[in-house]
Amino acid sequence: GKQGGTADSEENRPLWQKCRKGFLFPKYVKKEKKIMIITLKDGSTKEYSAPMTVLEIAKDISEGLARATTAGEMDGEVVDLRHRVDRDCSLSILTASDPEGLAAYRHTTSHILAQAVKRLYPQAKLAIGPSIADGFYYDIDIEGGFTPEDLEKLEGEMKKIVKENLEITRFTKPREEAIALMKERQEPYKVELIEDLPEGAEISFYQQGEFIDLCAGPHLMSTKPVKAFKLTSLAGAYWRGDEHNKMLTRIYGTAFPKKAELDEYLTMMEEAKKRDHRKLGKELGLFMMHEAGPGFPFFLPKGMILKNTLLDYWHELHERNGYQEISTPIILNRSLWETSGHWDHYKNNMYTTVIDEQDYAIKPMNCPGGVLVYQSEPRSYRDLPLRMGELGLVHRHEKSGQLHGLMRVRCFTQDDAHIFMTPEQIKDEIKGVVKLIDQVYSLFGFEYHVELSTRPEDSMGSDEDWELATDALRGALDDLGLSYAVNEGDGAFYGPKIDFHLQDSIGRTWQCGTIQLDFQLPLRFGLEYTGADGEKHRPIMIHRVAFGSIERFIGILIEHFAGAFPTWLAPVQVKVLPISEKFLDYGEKVLAELKKAGIRAELDVRSEKIGYKIREAQSLKIPYMLVVGAKEEEQSLVAVRSRFKGDEGQSSLAGFTEAIQKEIASKEIKKVEIEEK
């Protein structure tokens, strides 16, 4: 109290009390710990008072989850198991059952492959080795390339690396040290990759045993979990996809967490080889490729029947749904493509030419031509929606290494349609297109899933237009009750889109149908219509395809049906097989009646035994065979054999004709009830 304060004031407390309270030494005061809240995939939360790695959080949830986890997803970004979580966030613990988790598993397998390559072939130079949709690959520069026998050796070495249970660690280096490390290890492709990274970028490496690779990750914690893998094929690949660069050897492989899954995949791949459309296309006489025009398919007579039958269905479907058909030129001048935006955004994929000293382009898309047709006369709101369909031949420059039968070509027929409409009509038109595409895929027995693709980095148009367009597509899908995934940043440069990924009979997926909503082309071309108010308004445009590329869709159908097309689609629906030359006249009479009824039929006039004729007709996947001999001729009958039931017994020609006409008209896909030999 003598110092002027009360006896219990802070100033009069003894020094030891002040220390205890932290007045003189505040760092000794116990501070309240900050709580970090982690929101998990199921909506539950975990609280931590210190940073935790993804793996540590997985262990805290359950030891089983920690053993299965391959990566994490933090606030939508895939991260490594070693990643330190130090703030509130949403976190998904990924396993191989998640696409991103399986990708991390396979990415680790690609590093095991690269380590095996360096052990067995130290002179090899490594390029890149990412995970891909159905596995992984690694591009390697090695004199003389690899052989299938080399793949077996590499698989054996990979198994040794897995058995060694090598810990996988991550470290980073500044740019100059990173370059020096890769130069020391004599990896010129890695040096080039580092030199191309932006200033200030984090340069990370992963190490397992003696092997070090430049990599952003993510990866597993060790090599031990990688058990079920297979190196599947070899291919050539230009460094960085540039045909002016060196050709490297690409080793493809796949990996699964369970051997049963790998076996199932390999069985599917074997089935896919049998169904390869290039092989069947040749055997069934459907199409050919020629060195005179790489990437430009030749359709043979039977292939043209198949193609035209598909196009007949297309015409019937679109007429029923209120479309008008148009046809626009293949070559149009540069000015048009500049206005459309293709010259700036798509020029590398376009073929160009010069006419009368002016630049022209062979069309890669039909849409600008459709816009010119809309512009050709004044339009009123009463004309809308205006649905215009076009089977347009388009050309796109594809690199030679990417060409693949009918699946990846340089010219194809696109079953385009362009719909011009008012803002109020958007949702109903999108629904109508979705229903039309569903009708097409259901006809062929395809299941499918839907993706909504949003604005890419290289795009044109205002934020408001993109938001309105994206919301319109999302709203239509929601109204139809369709489940869909959002594919961020994968829209067209002029608008968002809905993509349809169909699944074939052996489980593979193909992207075919698409719906793109476009505010930009109507703006760039100054399209107008007169509204009910007498004023000028700008229409909105839908681009859509159902088949996609007719050629590619035929390739998919060949593989989906293994060449055994439904009767309505089969190039030859009936083969007439006389038992001997004595019955050729009756065979000719049967053939004439079938053709008169509109049935695609052929007569086998060869002097071969009937068993041989039947086997050959079966190998050509012909739906029906009509065997004719003495008994059939006497009673005006035919002996029916089918691809579906085998021997179906005798029938009157009229009865058979009526039955097959009904099957063709209904476009029925009949089930095979006998085991194929």
- Residues marked active site are found at 367, 396, 414, 416, 418, 497, 543
CB-count burial class (<10 Å; 0-12, 13-18, 19+) for 227: middle
C-alpha span between 600 and 661 (Å, rounded): 11
C-alpha span between 218 and 111 (Å, rounded): 11
Using CA atoms in the order 140, 142, 146, 152, what is the torsion angle rounded to 10 degrees? -70
Question: Quick one: which of 279, 226, 229 has its CA closest to 254?
Answer: 229
Instruction: Find out whether 135 and 254 touch, Cβ atoms under 8 Å.
Output: yes
Please state, as a whole number, how many other Cβ atoms lie within 10 Å of the Cβ of residue 183. Answer: 13
Please state, as a whole number, how many other Cβ atoms lie within 10 Å of the Cβ of residue 121. Answer: 16
The amino acid at residue 590 is V
Distances (CA, A) of 336 to 88, 346, 375, 573: 52, 13, 13, 46
In residues, how long is the chain? 677
C-alpha span between 206 and 215 (Å, rounded): 6
Q: Which stretches within 43-143 are classed as H helix?
A: 54-61, 63-68, 99-120
CB-count burial class (<10 Å; 0-12, 13-18, 19+) for 35: exposed
C-alpha span between 551 and 299 (Å, rounded): 9
Distances (CA, A) of 585 to 573, 589, 609, 647: 20, 6, 17, 23
C-alpha span between 178 and 202 (Å, rounded): 10
C-alpha span between 640 and 651 (Å, rounded): 7
Per the listing, tokens 């690409």 go with 250
Instruction: Find out whether 53 and 84 touch, Cβ atoms under 8 Å.
Output: yes
Both tokens assigned to 171: 């470290």
The amino acid at residue 132 is I
Both tokens assigned to 600: 């695609």
Instruction: Find out whether 362 and 331 touch, Cβ atoms under 8 Å.
Output: yes
Instruction: Find out whether 548 and 413 touch, Cβ atoms under 8 Å.
Output: no
Q: SS3 for 571?
A: coil
C-alpha span between 326 and 368 (Å, rounded): 13
Sequence-separated (6 or more) residues with CB below 8 Å from residue 122? none
Distance of CA 274 to the CA centre of its chain: 21
Instruction: Find out whether 579 and 627 touch, Cβ atoms under 8 Å.
Output: yes
Distance of CA 266 to the CA centre of its chain: 20
Distances (CA, A) of 225 to 163, 222, 624: 9, 7, 52
Sequence-separated (6 or more) residues with CB below 8 Å from residue 192? none
Q: Which H/E stretch holds residue 557? A: helix 550-560
C-alpha span between 165 and 58 (Å, rounded): 21
Both tokens assigned to 174: 């500044």
